[in-house]
Structure 1
Amino acid sequence: MKNFLCLLLVIVMAVSCVEKIIEKPAGLIPQEKMTQLLYDLAILNAAKSTNSAILEVHFDSPTHFLFEQYNVDSVQFVQSDIYYASQPLVYEAIYKEVADRLVREKEKMEEARKIANDSLALKSRQVKDSIQD
């Protein structure tokens, strides 16, 4: 009897932990689209911190422009973000994908920069060699 009560208590606790805390919002942004949007927001924030004056010349509100591109509004974004945050495994997967994509993009940019620098160094040597001849 004691074992049965312990087992029942464990089952009740497990079921109560599975309860959804936040209901799915009506305009939930799909997970893949949310991942792409968060990636673009990360790029936008990096651009803002690098040189916000250039962004302001081309866009009144870069964030608003980005939301328009994804056909979402700020309320829909916040509600979706809160919903995904209430599901830690899903939220972690979204942000892991964003982080992985940022790392891959950074590696591509560094490789392109290295190739460009190598090309400039080669061209510089060729010019020096032609002047010396």
Structure 2
Amino acid sequence: MKSFFYTCIALFLISCTSNTIYKKPENLIPKDSMVSLLTDMYIASSAKNHKNKFLKREKNYFFLVYEKYKIDSTRFDISNAYYTSKVDEYTEILKKVKSNIDSLNIFYREQQKIQDSIKKIEKKERIQKGSIPKKLQLK
């Protein structure tokens, strides 16, 4: 009975191994390009909830990302499947993507602060010149 029990445990452990590591495809997207591509893909996926300059919601910006990198969705899917099968490499790629998005977030927040301060200065100058009615002036 003990040998049956040990055999079952051994078969269970052997069957739990992962066989999902894919072979390296011929047209694999390099890691550095994949980082940039995934950064743009995450931005494109979050942009679908915002209206564009024509006040319309675009459903899919991914085709623009594919055009930018001159790839098609099949090549991206194959490369993404390969990198996801190698967890350590994909984790490294995603850390770089997160870093890129965080740095872009900081950059654009700083740009927004600059624009807001410029608008505030311009508004104060218009108030001083008297071009804004007193009802609308800041107190």
Structures share a fold, TM > 0.5? yes
Write the mapping of 1:109-128 to structure 2, written as runs, cut at 5 A.
Answer: 109-128=108-127
**2:65 is the alignment partner of 1:62:** no
% identity of equivalent residues: 26
Q: Distance in 1 between matches of 2:86 and 2:51?
A: 35
Write the mapping of 1:1-133 to structure 2, written as runs, cut at 5 A.
Answer: 21-51=21-51, 53=56, 55=58, 62-131=61-130
Deviation at 1:115, TM superposition (A): 0.9
Deviation at 1:119, TM superposition (A): 1.0
Code of the aligned partner of 1:115: I
Q: Distance in 2 between matches of 1:130 and 1:108?
A: 33
The alignment's TM-score, normalised by the length of structure 1, stands at 0.72
Equivalenced residue count is 111
Question: Whose RCO is larger (CA < 8 A, sep 6+)?
Answer: 1
| Larger-Rg structure | 2
Q: Distance in 2 between matches of 1:23 and 1:95?
A: 21
Cα distance change of structure 1 residues 20 and 48 upon mapping to structure 2, 3 Å threshold? closer
Deviation at 1:74, TM superposition (A): 1.3
Q: Distance in 2 between matches of 1:54 and 1:20?
A: 38
Q: Distance in 2 between matches of 1:69 and 1:130?
A: 47
Deviation at 1:86, TM superposition (A): 1.2
Q: Which runs of 5+ in 2 are unaligned?
A: 1-16, 135-139
CA contact (8 A) 2:49 2:57 kept: no
Code of the aligned partner of 2:77: V
Q: Distance in 1 between matches of 2:70 and 2:119?
A: 42
Greater fraction of residues in helix:
1
Q: Which runs of 5+ in 1 are unaligned?
A: 1-16
Structure 1 residue ranges (4+ consecutive) displaced by more than 4 angstroms after TM superposition: none
Please tell me the root mean square deviation across aligned C-alpha atoms, in Å.
Answer: 2.3
